[in-house]
A and B are shown apart, each in its own frame.
Chain A
Amino acid sequence: MKTYEIVIGLETHIQLNTTSKIFCSCKADSWGAEPNTNICPVCSGLPGVLPVLNVETVRKGALLAAAMHAEINPVSYFDRKNYFYPDLPKGYQITQFDEPIGKGGYMDLQMPDGTSRRVRIHKLHLEEDAGKTKIEDGERLVDFNRCGVPLVEMVTEPDLRSAEEAAQYLTQLRQLLRWIGVSEADMERGHLRCDANVSIREAGSTVLNTKTEIKNVNSIDAVRLAIIEESKRQIEAVEAGQRIQSYTLDWDADTGTLRKMRSKETEADYRYFREPDLLPVVLSAEEIAEVIASLPELPIERRARFIQDYQLSAYDADILTSERSLSDYYEESVRLFGGAAKVVSNWMMNDLSRLMNDTGKSAAELRLRPIDLAEIIRMVEGGKINPATGKSLLGKVEAGGGKPAEIVEREGLGLIADEDALSGQIAAIIAESPAEVESFRAGKESLLGWFVGQVMRRTGGKADPKRTRELLLEQLKR
């Protein structure tokens, strides 16, 4: 059998997180709303009404284009895509066609093996979403809530070579969308939807063979599985001497199978023409420069910088740049702590991430701010409190607020600074444990840990472990 290479291009629909819809003032998000409760004459296609462009969608679309290193089109246009379907109340979709908001560009993917992979972007365009239909009890029902929800459709070049790469692209795209704040990118809620174009070719070949389009792959796992299934099917077909036909396939997530929707050989003619109800979208050079300037450092860039500047491992850098507020939190904590960045990352990777998991909050939502974390770490490192106290302080600040130092003071959590008092406690323990003292002196030095434990119990954990150890050795060896 020959070796085959899979060639994949992805078409994503990204729901922008604007307050209102793209051409009317209905709320953009109607998740959980009763059908047809978030609609108006404009988005439900009543006669005589007109669309008015929500400029925030243009700003967010342009910002995404900038993040994809695409050319932001100074003059883009809306067009009508004409077709009949009950979920499309006007009988045409307002979308961008030949002059979209963004052209070209690329996204660099960080692959798990440490290599990076460049995926070229063909174009990005703004459009309105359609509604939903379903059949219930033999009746076709239609819900227009989703009509007019702002979307960016982004199409890649056929640059992905495996199901894993496609999954990586979606994962990193989702991260990026949230990072730059243009979409909630929640795939379960349809904020990020994906169609995959799949073809195969002999390894080493550069031709593009007939592709099939897989619709409705709306989770990252589904993308991975559907591409694996489809490429397998294509390879088997070619091996059996069959020709691949240009199908549209529907992914059934429940059964994990692909179903043929229609043959694409007779492609619909959408009769695109300029939307006469809207003006061209004009962005001045200054406006474009502003958009580009407002683009934050991208996750892949920040990751590289964290490895470089803070000597983080690739793994730690991945985690700490997985989400923008977390990575901002980290940098701010490092700056305020002033000591080794690695110490801060250890705290964040372990204790802070546990706190976030327990509370279900993102870094941005925590009550415990970087200044608190830095203070706690400083107290632990300076021997003012022991690490266990430090960890418990995270939860205390988060739960009740207040400054860590004040909590230590108020609750008497500081380490025993009085060396005489500590020595006295140690002397008492030695006096009460003749058997253990004998064993230790006979060479069973591992008992030191037991003695430390006794001191900690007696002091309620407030003894400085390092100093305790020193004083114990001093007295035991006497």
Chain B
Amino acid sequence: MSSIRLSARQIAQKVRAGELSALNVLEDHLRQIKAVDGVPGSLQNASLDPAEEGKVHAFIEVSTGLARQQAEKVQTMVQRGEDPGPLAGVPVSIKDIFCVKGTTTTAASRILYNFRPPYTATTVERLEKAGALIIGKTNLDEFTYGSSSESSAFQPHPNNPWNTQRVTGGSSGGSAASVAAREAPLSLGTDTGGSIRQPAAFCGVVGLKPSYGRTSRYGLIAFGSSLDCPGPLARDVSDAALMLQVLAGLDPKDSTSALAPVPDYLAALQEGVRGMRIGLSRDYDHITYPDTLTGEMSVQSIQPEMNSAVRDVAEVLARLGAEIVEDVPMPNARHGIPTYFVISRVEAASNLHRFDGVKYGYRTSAPVRGLSELYRATRAEGFGLQPKLRILMGMYVSAAQHSAQYYQKALRVRSMIRSDFELAFDPQGVYRLDALLTPTTPTTAFRRSEVMGDSVLMQYSDQMTVAGNHAGIPAVSIPAGLDPLGLPIGVQFFGMDFREDLILRAAYAYEQATENADWRRAIPQALRESEVSA
């Protein structure tokens, strides 16, 4: 049997026991990539074979050489009787926003098309140390700026393995797709407004955004520095817990990483949900969306299956002994996106300042007179639409004459959003929640090109997730069924600071209770062909 059907835990266990060679595991996964992924994203894919339409295109670069070295090292250790680590021989794909020595790190932008970092992100380093095989760099929205992965400068963009005419979500779209398409059991993504959870929901996998500071940001090319969180994407909750265990912990290279002790996440899963208080909020059964003409906010309903999935999950957990707390108020949830529009753009614009064509990456080849022209031409040619829009917006709302009205105000609203959660999780409070259960997204995966181009609408697909980034709290999205079109539905648990263990427990309890549900036997479209032939 091909190891692509195994969980990360099973692979590591078998490799450590000498029952399975890391090299074989790698070859199985490389074969799967060859079968389902199609051409990698690149700057030059002008005209494509129509057959590529049905491929996943999760990767920008498959790092066969690097992964093979790592697999050999794991095997040597096994032969010597040494422990290669908890992820021994487990292929992990890495969102191409993490610097990895020995790979090109593009951020899916032309401006970094040739950037080869001389260092490796702390999270990737920890994966390598745990025996993981870094199998490749996955595609994403340019600089992570998007929710569909379509805005990558490296085309073709990833397609949803469940229906390749649909988007993967984003920005960790390539990561989610690679896990769903069994190209890797685990992927490392980042979540700034929902970029792990939303694509995880769209692709039917587990995506965990840890507490801010739980995982190091060192080596992650920054989007919104006060919001960015690296985290795992996996096919089940236990694998996500295993990967978080490896990633979590203080990093002296990241001043904002947390000192808080790291619990044993896998052990915590076994504790069940009996007595846990799980909240539901009416503020999460709809979205608030601005009218494009008037700017007035109007309430819009979300896809009905999302709300029924939340109900179903709540019922399952209640049967397992959890206490369901209804009507938890989250009055500031509706400010999440406007606040995010301001804060993330200010940080993004500043973080993009360093890409100027002077030191590394793309530099215009047009003749320029002077510095200003060099900057202008390089950035005009090197950045796609999303970085440009975000620079404009970020510069506008942080300008001296606007800062009080936008940026400073957004910071205050951000703390109001956090106070909603503080109230809900307060152990002496009215609600005393252990987790808040919500839909992950307002809809299932939308059609390609359907939303692309409407930056505001695109951003609103993060309305359910973004509050967690403002508040800095952990949240996990897990699969909770399929909609009538056969597209995955995700639900999300928010938790309190550094209590990833609690939300993983709830997620795991649901996963176990629905282990034999019919929908769990469905196979993503992109895999059906290779499944038949396999």
Tell me, yes or no, whether A288 is within 8 Å of chain B by CB: no
Contact yes or no, B255 A51, CB < 8 A? yes
Tell me, yes or no, whether A449 is within 8 Å of chain B by CB: no
A84 vs B358: C-alpha distance when bound (angstroms): 11
Contact yes or no, B407 A48, CB < 8 A? no
Tell me, yes or no, whether B64 is within 8 Å of chain A by CB: no
Contact yes or no, A50 B350, CB < 8 A? no
Contact yes or no, A269 B255, CB < 8 A? no
A-B contacts at CB below 8 angstroms, number: 104
Hey, what's the 0/1 contact readout for B472-491 against A, CB within 8 Å counting as 1?
Answer: 00000000000000000000
Pick the residue among A48, A84, A273, A277 that contacts B353 (CB under 8 A).
A84
Tell me, yes or no, whether B375 is within 8 Å of chain A by CB: yes
Number of B interface residues at 8 Å Cβ cutoff, please give it: 44
Tell me, yes or no, whether B117 is within 8 Å of chain A by CB: yes
Which residues of B sit under 8 angstroms from A80, Cβ to Cβ? 350
Pick the residue among A45, A48, A84 that contacts B218 (CB under 8 A).
A48
Q: How far is the CB of B129 from chain A (nearest CB, A)?
A: 19
Name the segment of B3-11, B42-50, B395-403 touching the other chain. B395-403
Q: How far is the CB of A79 from chain B (nearest CB, A)?
A: 11
Known: A47-B112, A271-B398. A82 touches B353 (CB 8 A): yes
Contact yes or no, A45 B354, CB < 8 A? yes
A309 vs B430: C-alpha distance when bound (angstroms): 70
Chain A residue with Cβ nearest B346: A273
Contact yes or no, B350 A273, CB < 8 A? yes
Chain A residue with Cβ nearest B219: A48
A210 vs B256: C-alpha distance when bound (angstroms): 43
Which residues of A sit under 8 angstroms from B224, Cβ to Cβ? 276
Chain B residue with Cβ nearest A269: B400
Tell me, yes or no, whether A89 is within 8 Å of chain B by CB: yes
A80 vs B218: C-alpha distance when bound (angstroms): 18
Q: How far is the CB of B349 from chain A (nearest CB, A)?
A: 8
Tell me, yes or no, whether B253 is within 8 Å of chain A by CB: yes
Chain B residue with Cβ nearest A271: B398
Which residues of B sit under 8 angstroms from A89, Cβ to Cβ? 354, 358-359
Tell me, yes or no, whether B51 is within 8 Å of chain A by CB: no
Interface residues on A, range: 20 to 34
Tell me, yes or no, whether A142 is within 8 Å of chain B by CB: yes
Instruction: Count chain B CB atoms within 10 A of each CB in A92, A142, A273 and give the residue with the most.
Output: A273
A140 vs B358: C-alpha distance when bound (angstroms): 10
Which residues of B sit under 8 angstroms from A41, Cβ to Cβ? 117-119
Known: A276-B347, A278-B255. A48 touches B400 (CB 8 A): no
Contact yes or no, B256 A47, CB < 8 A? no
Which residues of B sit under 8 angstroms from A92, Cβ to Cβ? 350, 353
Which residues of B sit under 8 angstroms from A84, Cβ to Cβ? 353, 356, 371, 375
Which residues of A sit under 8 angstroms from B371, Cβ to Cβ? 84, 86, 140
A177 vs B46: C-alpha distance when bound (angstroms): 63
Which residues of B sit under 8 angstroms from A47, Cβ to Cβ? 99, 105, 107, 112, 115, 117, 221-222, 354-355
Tell me, yes or no, whether A46 is within 8 Å of chain B by CB: yes
Tell me, yes or no, whether B514 is within 8 Å of chain A by CB: no
Tell me, yes or no, whether A295 is within 8 Å of chain B by CB: no
Dominant secondary structure at the A interface: loop
Instruction: Count chain B CB atoms within 10 A of each CB in A44, A48, A86, A273 and give the residue with the most.
Output: A48
Known: A48-B218, A52-B252. A91 touches B407 (CB 8 A): no
Chain A residue with Cβ nearest B120: A48
Instruction: Count chain B CB atoms within 10 A of each CB in A52, A53, A276 and give the residue with the most.
Output: A276
A140 vs B357: C-alpha distance when bound (angstroms): 13
Which residues of B sit under 8 angstroms from A276, Cβ to Cβ? 224-226, 256, 347
Which residues of A sit under 8 angstroms from B255, Cβ to Cβ? 50-53, 277-279
Tell me, yes or no, whether A90 is within 8 Å of chain B by CB: yes
Known: A142-B358, A276-B347, A277-B255. A48 touches B121 (CB 8 A): yes
Contact yes or no, B353 A90, CB < 8 A? yes
Chain A residue with Cβ nearest B359: A89
Q: How far is the CB of A114 from chain B (nearest CB, A)?
A: 47
Q: How far is the CB of B287 from chain A (nearest CB, A)?
A: 27
CB neighbors of B among A134-155 (8 A): 140, 142
CB neighbors of A among B222-248 (8 A): 222, 224-226
A278 vs B256: C-alpha distance when bound (angstroms): 6
Tell me, yes or no, whether A282 is within 8 Å of chain B by CB: no
A269 vs B403: C-alpha distance when bound (angstroms): 11
Hey, what's the 0/1 contact readout for B147-158 against A, CB within 8 Å counting as 1?
Answer: 000000000000
Known: A45-B359, A90-B354, A91-B356. A271 touches B395 (CB 8 A): yes
Which residues of B sit under 8 angstroms from A46, Cβ to Cβ? 99, 117-119, 359-360
A280 vs B243: C-alpha distance when bound (angstroms): 31
CB neighbors of B among A106-126 (8 A): none
Contact yes or no, B218 A86, CB < 8 A? no
Can you spell out 26 A-B residue pairs with CB atoms less than 8 angstroms apart?
A44-B359, A46-B117, A46-B360, A47-B117, A47-B221, A47-B222, A47-B355, A48-B121, A48-B219, A49-B119, A50-B253, A51-B255, A52-B254, A84-B356, A86-B356, A86-B358, A91-B350, A91-B355, A271-B398, A271-B399, A271-B400, A273-B350, A273-B398, A276-B224, A276-B225, A277-B256
Q: Which residues of B contact A (CB under 8 A)?
A: 98-99, 105, 107, 112, 115, 117-119, 121, 217-222, 224-226, 252-256, 346-347, 349-350, 352-356, 358-360, 371, 375, 395, 398-400, 403, 407
4 more contacts with CB within 8 A, not counting A47-B117, A48-B221, are A44-B359, A47-B99, A50-B253, A91-B354
Kindly list the 3 A-B residue pairs having the minimum CB-CB distance in the complex, ordered from nearest: A91-B353, A276-B226, A276-B225
